[in-house]
Structure 1
Amino acid sequence: MQANDTITLIEAYDAMRIFVETVWRRMDKPQEEIALLLAGLKWVDGSPVDPAMWQDWLAAAEGAKEGVASQP
C-alpha cells in the first residue's frame, strides 16, 4: 500500500484490529491485558461484538479525516 491509498471504514477497522493483535503478540503480553479489547473488536453477523467500539471507531475515523487530535 502507498500512503495515499484509500480503504473503506470497515477495511480500516479490520486493519486496526489486526494491528493491535499483531503488536500484542509481538510484545508477548499476557492475554488478559488485551483480550477484552480484541474480543469487542471482532465481527459477528456483520457487526462488531461491541457496537460502542464501532461508534468510537467511526468518531475516531472522522476525527482523523478532519485532522482533530484524539483525546485520551
Structure 2
Amino acid sequence: MTLIEAYDAMRIFVEIVWRRMDRPQEQVAFLLAGLKWADGSPVDPAMWENWLAAAQSVKEGAASPS
C-alpha cells in the first residue's frame, strides 16, 4: 500500500465511523473536510505533512504519540 492509498484508507475509515454516529460531530466533520483531496492534494496541506510524519514514525518503529 502506498502512502497515498494508506492516507485515503484512513480518511475513509474515519468517515465510515463518523457516519455510524446518530448525530453530526462537528470536530470529526472538520477533520474529514481537511483530509479530502482537491486538485491532487489534501485540502489542508498540514494534515498531509502530519500524515507523512506519522507514517515515518510507524516505519521507524517509534511509539505512538500519547
Q: Root-mean-square deviation (CA), in Å?
A: 1.2
1: CA distance, partners of 2:55 / 2:20: 25
Q: What is the aligned residue count?
A: 66
2: CA distance, partners of 1:28 / 1:20: 15
Partner residue of 1:60 out of 28, 31, 54: 54
How big is each residue's C-alpha offset from its partner over 1:5-58, in whole Å with a ceiling of 9 and x where there is no partner?
A: xx0000000000000111111233423131110000000000000000000000
Which residue number in structure 2 is paired with residue 50 of structure 1? 44
Which range is displaced more, 52-61 or 28-37? 28-37
Structure 2: gaps (5+ residues) = none
Structure 1: gaps (5+ residues) = 1-6
1: CA distance, partners of 2:27 / 2:19: 11
Matches within 5 A, 1:1-72: 7-72=1-66
* TM-score (normalised: structure 1): 0.83
Large movers: runs of 4+ above 3 Å? none
